[in-house]
Structure 1
Amino acid sequence: MCGIVGFVGARDDAREVLQAMMDLIAHRGPDGQGQFLEGPVALGQRRLSIIDLEGGRQPMYNEDENLVVVFNGEIYNFQSLAEELRAAGHTFATRSDTEVLLHGYEQWGKGMLDRLRGMFTFAIWDRRENTLLLARDHFGIKPLYYYQNEEGELLFGSEIKSFLGHPGFHKELNEDQLSLYLSYQFSPGENTFFKGVKKLMPAHWLEWKDGQATVQRYWRPEFKPDDAPSLQEWEKAISDTMQESVTAHKIADVEVGSFLSSGVDSSYMAALAKVDKTFTVGFANKQYDETDYATEFSKHIGVKNYAYRITPEEYWANLGRIQYHMDEPLADAASVALYFVNREAAKQVKVCLSGEGADEFFGGYNIYKEPFTVSWYDHLPLWLRRSVGAVANLLPPVPGINFLVRRGRPLEERYIGNTNLMGERRKRKLMKHYTGNCKPTDISRPFFEMTKGQDPVTRMEYCDLNLWMVGDILLKADKMSMANSLELRVPFLDRKVFELACRIPTKCKVNAQQTKIAMRGAAEMTIPAKTADKKKLGFPVPVRAWLREEKYAAILRDAFATPAAEKFFNTKELNRMLDQHVSGKRDNWRQLWCVFIFLVWYDEYFVKR
C-alpha cells in the first residue's frame, strides 16, 4: 500500500517538484520512497511496506528496464498470475505483487487489467514508446486524480493535495460542484471541487502520448439475476466465496486486524478472518456506542478487542485535519469516527479488514425496502402521484409528507443514492449563486439508463455502486486509513464476490421486512443468528444531539459568520435553520452539517493555504 504521484512535462526543477509532491502524501507511505525522472516524465512513490518488505521497493522495472511502474494497492491473485507469466517466459526478480503489473503489461498490454483481482492504481511509463498508462481498479477502492494545465503538463496523484507542490498547478475553486455536493453530501462524478482536477473513475485507464490524454472504461459491473438456485444454495455459495475472499485478502508479511462494529458485515468479517485483534470506536452516550457489543462479540470469537470512546471535544477539534485529508468536503459524520478507529488500529497493526461493499452487493440499505412498502401507491397514475407530490412538497415536513413527495416521481427522478439532502428549492433559497445548471439527476441518470427493464432494487444498487459507494464509502475508507498510515482491505469488494452477488435475485436480497437476506443466512453459518439478523444502523454519531446544545451550535454560528459563508450562502437562512434545529422544531442537522463541513474544508484549502 502506497501513495503515487507524478507528472509529464519537462522542467529544470523536476526532482525538487516531485519531492514536494511526495512530501504532501508522506502519510500514505512512511516506510520509504522512490523516484524516477527521465526526459519529460517524473514518477514518485511513498511506501507502506506490506508484501516483500525488502524486495518490493519502487519504482520497479521489468527485465530490460523498458517499463517502469509506481503502484498503490494490492493484487490478491498475483501469485497465480506470476506462475502464468513465468510459464510464458518472464523472469521475476522479486516476490512482490508490483512486479506482476510489469510482466503482465508486457504480455497482455491493457488486457492485463481484466485479469487483475485487487485494489489498485498505478502508473506505467513505457520508455521506448514514451507513453504513460494510468489505471484504477474495478470498483474504485483506490483513488487517482489527474490535471492537465494550459502548458500541456499532466499531473497525477493518489491525493489532490499533492498537486499543491507543483508550480504548474493553478488552484481554483470549482463552484459548480457545490450545488451537487449539497444534494449528495459528497463530490459526485469525475469533476472535483478544484477546477480542472478530475478523478480517474473506477474501471478506467488513462493513456498519455504525444501530449494527448485518452480516457477509457475497461470493465462495467452488471447485475444478471438467476432465479434457479434456492435461497439455501445462495447462502452456501456466499459462505464459500466469502471465506475464499477473506483468505486472499489476508495475504501479507505483516499482522492483519479487523474493524468491528455492532453490524453483521464487520462481525461476519472478523469471524471469517480469524484475526487476533479487532478495533472499535464509540461514544460516551450509550445510544451511539458499540464498544460493549464489540467486547462481547470479540470474546465470543476468541480475539482481543481494542475499544476507544471518542469525546465530543476531540471529535470537533479534528474536523479541520480530517477534511484536509479528505481532499474534497465529505459531510458523512461517520467519517470522523472512521478516522479515530483507523488511528487506534494503526497503533497495533499495519493492515485491517473492513466490511465496505456488502450493502451494494447484497441489498443492505433500508431504502431498498421502499419498493415493497405501500406498493399499491405506485399503481396509481403517474400524473396523479406527481400532482399530490407537488402539493405535498409545499407543506411542512410532517410524517407522511416525504413519502408523498418521493413516490410522486419515478425512481430515476427521485433516487440519486443513499442521501438526497437538499432539493433544488432548498438550494435556491440557501445558495448565493444558484444556477441549476447541473442537477443531481444529471449525474445519476446514466446509471438508470443502463439498467432499464430491471427491478427497482437492482437499479438502486447499480446507482449506489457507481456513485454512493465510490464518492462516500470508499473515499472515506481510503483517506481516513491512509491519514493514519494504515492499509484497509475490503473483502466484500472483490471480483469473485461480485460475480456471485450479481446473479442473486432481488427476492433473496431484500423484502419489506429484511435486507441482505441471503448474506445474513450465510453469516449465520459462522456467527450467532442475533448478530446476523441485526438491523442496520450505519455508524451512529451524536451530531444531531450535539447541535441541540448551544455549546456546539455556537461553533456553527461562528462558521456561518465568516466571509466564506457570506460569499457562498444566504447566512440568514442558515441561522434560521439552526434556530429551528436547536429549538427542536425541525431536524435540520444533516443539511446544516453539510454546509458547515464545506466551510471547514474551504478554510483548509482556500483560507489557510
Structure 2
Amino acid sequence: MCGFIGELRNNGIDAIESTEWYRALEAIHHRGPDATGLYKDENIQLGFKRLSIIDLENGHQPFSLQNRYHLIFNGEIYNYIELRQDLITQGYTFETDSDTEVLLNLYISKGKECVKELRGMFSFAVWDKKEKTLFAARDPFGIKPFYYHESPERLFFASELKSIDAYKSQGNISAEALQHYLTYQYVPEPLCLQKDIKKLLPGHFLNKKPDEALEIGCFYKKTFHPVKSALGDNTVKIKRALEDSVEKHMRSDVPVGAFLSSGIDSTAIVALAKKFNPDLKTFTVGFEHKGFSEIEIAKDTADKLNVENINKIITPYEFIEELPNIIRHMDDPVADPAAVPLYFVAKEASKHVKVVLSGEGADELFGGYNIYREPLALSWFNLMPYGFKSFIHNKALRLPSGLKGKNYFLRGTTPLSERYIGNANLLSEAEKKELLNGYEFTSPFTKITAEFYKEAESLDDTLKMQYIDLHTWLPGDILVKADRMTMAHSIELRVPFLDKEVFQIARELPTNHKISRGTTKYVLREAVKEFIPESVLHRKKLGFPVPIRHWLREELYDWARSVIRHSPTDYLFKKEYVLTLLDEHASGKEDHSRKIWAVICFMIWHSVYIEKEPYGNHLNKTADL
C-alpha cells in the first residue's frame, strides 16, 4: 500500500519545488497510482502516492491533524479497529474510517511509544511542525521498506531507493556492499550498493530535528526463547493465532486474493482465508521445463479447497524480456531467481485483485528449511577433539572437487558461524578475490553475521540458524522481492505468518517441535492438518522453482555470454573469470548457475542505475533471444 518521499532541510525548503522532487515522487508512481498528495512548510516537504485499500474516499495523505502533525504512511495496521476504540474512550474523535487517522492519533497520544502497540506492516514518518521533529519507524520484520540519505544539508527518505536516485543521483558503488552481495545474493541491511544510502533496519525508528544529529534506535528486538511445552498445546495456540491473523489480514475495502504454490504455507493461508471470503481467487505460475512448475499441484489443491485458481506458464523469453524491469523495481539487485515468477504471478493477480495474501515467513518462524536439520546430521562431529577435527578438515580439503562426502566432512569440521550465513552462500572469499578487481580484506562475509551469532550464543545450532535467517535472509531477500514484485503491479502483499502474535508463539517453540520425525515445521503441520489436503501436508517444498541451471546451459547461454561481454563493468570484475564459470557450467563440469546469475543481475542493475540506460534493454538487444 502506497509509497512516500520526504526531505527535511537544515537551512529551509526552497519556495519552488524542483523538477527533481517531482521526478523522485513519480519514480514510485507504481506504489500508489490512485492519488498523489503533497505537504510543504519552511523545513520539510512530503510527497505521497496512494494505493487505496481501506476507506477509499478518505484517508488521503499526507494526513494532517491540528495543523501541526503531518503523516505519510505505507502499510496496514491490522489492529486499527481495536486501537481506534481505545482512543475513542480516551476522548479522541475521528473523521475517517482509515487506519491512517488511527496511527496519527496514536502518535499524538503516546509519542514514539506508539510503535509498540502496532500490529501490522508499516513504514511511516510523522512531522511535528510545532516541535520541528521528524519521527519515522519501520515494522519489526521489515515487510515495508524505508531508505534514507543524509548529507550536511538535508535528510532525504523514501519508500524506494529509486526515488533517492532520481532526486540526487549517487553513482558511487560501495565496494563492501558489492562484496557482500556476491556472497548473500542480496545486499544485507542497512547497506545499499550506492554509497551513503542506507535502509532503516526492521523494528527501528529515527528522530531528526533541523541542524541536530540523526538519532536511530530499536523499539522491537526479535529473539527466540524456547520454553518446555506440550506439542498439543502449541498446535492449538498456532491454529488460533493463524486464524486470528488471517482474519485481520483480510480487512480491506477492495478484493483480496492469495498466491498458491505446492507447499503447506500458502495452502494454509488460502484455507483460512476462504473462511472469510468463499469467493477467494488464487494465483499460480510455472515453467514449461519438467519439474519446474507448481501449476498442476496448485490446481489440485485449489479444487480440494473449492477456490478458483488462475495460472500462467512463463517462457524463458518472457523471463529475459522482463528481467531489466524486474531488477529496476528491486532497487538493489536480488539474485534470487524466484523473484521472476513472483513478478509474473503478481502481474496476473493485478488483473483481478488489489490485495494478495502469501505465506512468507513461515519457514523462518517454524523451522521450515531442510538445512535446519543439518545440526542433527553433524552432531557426532561435536564429540571429536579439536585437533582431530582439524586433521579431518585438512584431509577433506585435499579431496577432489565433487567427490561424494567431501562437503559433508568440510561442513562437519567447520564452526557454524563460518559455514552458515543464510539460505544463499554463493561465492567464497577465495572466489571473490578471483572475481573482483578491488577485493576488500576488511569485509569478509562473517562481518554481517558476527553480531547476530553473538546475540544467539545461548541457543542451539538450529535456533541460531533461524536467528540468522530472521535478521538477514528474511528482510534482505524474501521480503524485498515480495514487496517490490507486487508493488511493481500496484498490488499489496500481506503476510499473515509475520504477525507479532504469531511470532510470540513461534519464538517459544522448542527445537524438537519444529525439527522432528524426519521433517521440518512439524508443529505447524500438526496445527494445520485439519483444514489442508493430505496431499499437501508432507509435500517437499518447491517455492517458485526456476530452471536457471538448465537455461544457462541451453536457451540462455548466448544471452548470458553477450551480457557479460558487453557490460562496462570491467573496472569491477575480471570478466574472463566469469566467462570461465559460464563455460564450465555449460559443459556440465560444475553447476555455477547461481554465481553466474548473481553477476548478470548486477550487470543489468549497473546498466539501469549507474549507466542510466532505460531498463537496461541495451544489454538484451546485444543477444539473439
Which TM-score band applies after superposition, normalised by the shorter structure? Answer: over 0.9
Instruction: Give 1:310-321 correspondences, 5 Å limit.
Output: 310-321=314-325
- 1:58 maps to what in 2? 61
The question of 1:40 aligning with 2:43 is answered yes
Determine helix, strand or coil for the equivalent of 2:53: coil
- 2:170 maps to what in 1? 170
Q: What is the RMSD computed on CA atoms of the aligned residues?
A: 1.4
Read off the aligned partner of 1:422 and give its amino acid letter.
L
Determine helix, strand or coil for the equivalent of 1:590: helix
Q: Distance in 2 between matches of 1:606 and 1:404?
A: 43
Q: Distance in 1 between matches of 2:99 and 2:54?
A: 8
Which of residues 128, 135, 138 in structure 2 aligns to 1:136?
Answer: 138
Change (3 A) 1:284 1:563: closer
- Which runs of no fewer than 5 residues in structure 2 stay unpaired? 614-625
Which of residues 466, 472, 485 in structure 1 aligns to 2:471?
Answer: 466
- 1:451 maps to what in 2? 456
Deviation at 1:607, TM superposition (A): 1.5
- 1:127 maps to what in 2? 129
Q: Distance in 2 between matches of 1:195 and 1:556?
A: 28
- 1:351 maps to what in 2? 355
Determine helix, strand or coil for the equivalent of 1:567: coil
The question of 1:423 aligning with 2:425 is answered no
Change (3 A) 1:407 1:390: same
Which of residues 288, 293, 298 in structure 2 aligns to 1:294?
Answer: 298
Read off the aligned partner of 2:254 and give its amino acid letter.
V
Query: Any idea what the Cα deviations from partners look like across 1:343-365, whole Å, max 9, x if unmatched?
Result: 00000000000000000000000
The question of 1:485 aligning with 2:487 is answered no
Determine helix, strand or coil for the equivalent of 2:571: helix
Which segment drifts farther, 420-429 or 121-130? 420-429
Query: Any idea what the Cα deviations from partners look like across 1:467-487, whole Å, max 9, x if unmatched?
Result: 000000000000000001010
- 1:585 maps to what in 2? 589
Query: Any idea what the Cα deviations from partners look like across 1:426-468, whole Å, max 9, x if unmatched?
Result: 1111111112221111111111111112111111111100000
Deviation at 1:206, TM superposition (A): 0.8
Q: Distance in 2 between matches of 1:456 and 1:349?
A: 42
Contact 1:373–1:512 under 8 Å retained in 2: no
Q: Distance in 2 between matches of 1:608 and 1:14?
A: 24
The question of 1:533 aligning with 2:538 is answered yes
Read off the aligned partner of 1:509 and give its amino acid letter.
K
Determine helix, strand or coil for the equivalent of 1:402: helix
Deviation at 1:380, TM superposition (A): 1.2
Which of residues 555, 559, 573 in structure 1 aligns to 2:577?
Answer: 573
Q: Distance in 2 between matches of 1:539 and 1:381?
A: 42
Matched residues, number: 604
Which of residues 478, 495, 510 in structure 2 aligns to 1:505?
Answer: 510
Query: Any idea what the Cα deviations from partners look like across 1:523-560, whole Å, max 9, x if unmatched?
Result: 201112231111222321001011111x4111121122
Contact 1:559–1:565 under 8 Å retained in 2: no
Contact 1:388–1:408 under 8 Å retained in 2: yes
Q: Distance in 1 between matches of 2:52 and 2:242?
A: 26
- 2:568 maps to what in 1? 564
Deviation at 1:185, TM superposition (A): 0.4
Which segment drifts farther, 12-21 or 64-73? 12-21
Q: Distance in 1 between matches of 2:171 and 2:95?
A: 41
Deviation at 1:376, TM superposition (A): 1.1
The question of 1:494 aligning with 2:496 is answered no
Which segment drifts farther, 317-326 or 573-582? 573-582
The question of 1:14 aligning with 2:17 is answered yes
Deviation at 1:17, TM superposition (A): 3.8
Contact 1:382–1:409 under 8 Å retained in 2: no
Query: Any idea what the Cα deviations from partners look like across 1:211-262, whole Å, max 9, x if unmatched?
Result: 321111111012111112x212211211111011000000000110000000
Contact 1:365–1:515 under 8 Å retained in 2: yes
- 1:26 maps to what in 2? 29
Instruction: Give 1:297-376 correspondences, 5 Å limit.
Output: 297-376=301-380
- 2:215 maps to what in 1? 214
Contact 1:174–1:192 under 8 Å retained in 2: yes
Q: Distance in 2 between matches of 1:112 and 1:75?
A: 12
Q: Distance in 2 between matches of 1:586 and 1:456?
A: 30
Read off the aligned partner of 1:261 and give its amino acid letter.
S
Deviation at 1:163, TM superposition (A): 1.3
- 1:182 maps to what in 2? 182
- 1:154 maps to what in 2? 155
- Which runs of no fewer than 5 residues in structure 1 stay unpaired? none
Contact 2:294–2:544 under 8 Å retained in 1: no
Q: Distance in 2 between matches of 1:602 and 1:22?
A: 22
Deviation at 1:48, TM superposition (A): 0.4
The question of 1:191 aligning with 2:191 is answered yes
Deviation at 1:19, TM superposition (A): 2.2
Determine helix, strand or coil for the equivalent of 1:49: coil
Contact 2:286–2:544 under 8 Å retained in 1: no
Q: Distance in 2 between matches of 1:362 and 1:563?
A: 42
Contact 2:43–2:210 under 8 Å retained in 1: no
Deviation at 1:164, TM superposition (A): 2.8
Which segment drifts farther, 470-479 or 533-542? 533-542
Q: Distance in 2 between matches of 1:363 and 1:58?
A: 39
Deviation at 1:39, TM superposition (A): 0.6
Deviation at 1:162, TM superposition (A): 0.5
Q: Distance in 1 between matches of 2:37 and 2:395?
A: 62
Deviation at 1:133, TM superposition (A): 0.9
Q: Distance in 2 between matches of 1:527 and 1:217?
A: 38
Read off the aligned partner of 2:61 and give its amino acid letter.
Q
Which segment drifts farther, 508-517 or 327-336? 508-517
Change (3 A) 1:573 1:498: same
Contact 1:18–1:42 under 8 Å retained in 2: no
Contact 2:381–2:413 under 8 Å retained in 1: no
Q: Distance in 2 between matches of 1:407 and 1:179?
A: 26
Which of residues 117, 126, 147 in structure 1 aligns to 2:119?
Answer: 117
Deviation at 1:374, TM superposition (A): 4.0
Read off the aligned partner of 2:461 and give its amino acid letter.
P
Q: Distance in 1 between matches of 2:301 and 2:591?
A: 34
Deviation at 1:391, TM superposition (A): 4.4
Determine helix, strand or coil for the equivalent of 1:492: coil
Instruction: Give 1:90-101 correspondences, 5 Å limit.
Output: 90-101=92-103
The question of 1:232 aligning with 2:232 is answered yes
Deviation at 1:387, TM superposition (A): 3.9
Deviation at 1:390, TM superposition (A): 4.1
Read off the aligned partner of 1:265 and give its amino acid letter.
D
Determine helix, strand or coil for the equivalent of 1:106: helix
Q: Distance in 2 between matches of 1:367 and 1:264?
A: 18
Q: Distance in 2 between matches of 1:515 and 1:590?
A: 25
Query: Any idea what the Cα deviations from partners look like across 1:384-423, whole Å, max 9, x if unmatched?
Result: 3334334434541322222222222211122111111111
- 1:267 maps to what in 2? 267
Contact 2:71–2:127 under 8 Å retained in 1: yes
- 1:414 maps to what in 2? 419
Read off the aligned partner of 1:92 and give its amino acid letter.
F
Deviation at 1:263, TM superposition (A): 0.7
Which segment drifts farther, 375-384 or 533-542? 375-384
Which of residues 267, 284, 287 in structure 1 aligns to 2:288?
Answer: 284
